[in-house]
Structures are given as C-alpha cells and as structure tokens.
Amino acid sequence: MQPENIHISNDKSLLDLEMIHDFLTNRSYWAKGRSMETVKRSVENSLCFGVYENGKQVGFARVVTDYAVFAWLLDVFILEEYRGRGLSKQLMSAIISHPNLQNLKRWGLGTDDAHGLYQQFGFTALSKPNNMMERK
C-alpha cells in the first residue's frame, strides 16, 4: 500500500524528462553521457513508470517488452535524497504487478549494485551465462 503522498504512474505526460536525463547522464553508472534525444526515444518506445511524491517525480523505470514472452527492465532509479524509504520496492511491486506484464516467460535486467532489491522480486543470477550473447 502506497502512502497518500506517493504515486506511481504509467502516464508518460507526467514524466520529467529533464530530471530523468540529468540523473541518467550525470549520476548513473550505466548511462553516463546519454543524450536527451536518446532518453526521449527510449521513453517513447518503452512502458515507463514514474514515482511521484507530492506531485514531484522522484524515481523512474522503464520496461522494454513484447507483452507476450519477454521483458527487459532498465533505467531503474530513485533520486538519492529519497532513497531508504522503500520507494524502490514500491516501484518494483508496481512493475511486476502491471496487468500488461503478467504471464511473461522471462524477465531480464542488468545491475552492478541492486541484486538484493531484485532478488526480493524473484530475479536470480543467470544459471548459464554462457548461453547469453550480446552485440555492442
């Protein structure tokens, strides 16, 4: 249950793209230097989740999916000054319980530092990393 002053929404018109871009390009370890154009394009082509406290956006995540088989979770963050209050857990609960994301066969994500959070929602380390491939 979310406190009354916390709201999680999929409404892209509410997203603060300037704040998202600033965090990703300047404060994240995974998206340093990402352009505003890339942020806008990624938001347009993803299922996005904004976390709001008293109407101010304080967190973000997006999911890339085919809505049938697979989803990839990306760009998950809560602003530093709002951490430690369970907002990331509320965000993850909203994502995992979203009606359009039910019955997917596989979810994926990459993280260097939030394994404990994602494990609470059923994510595990790959058992066979040698069967995964990538192209950079």
Cβ contact 76:50 at 8 Å:
no
Assess whether pLDDT exceeds 90 at residue 49: yes
- The structure's pTM equals 0.91
DSSP 109-136: E--SS-HHHHHTTT----S-GGG-----
Reported as a single tens digit per residue, the pLDDT across 62-83 is 999 999 999 999 999 999 999 9
Rounded CA separation 119/121 (Å): 5
Nearest of 73, 78, 79 to residue 123 by alpha carbon: 73
Assess whether pLDDT exceeds 80 at residue 42: yes
CATH fold for the domain made of 6-131: Aminopeptidase (3.40.630)
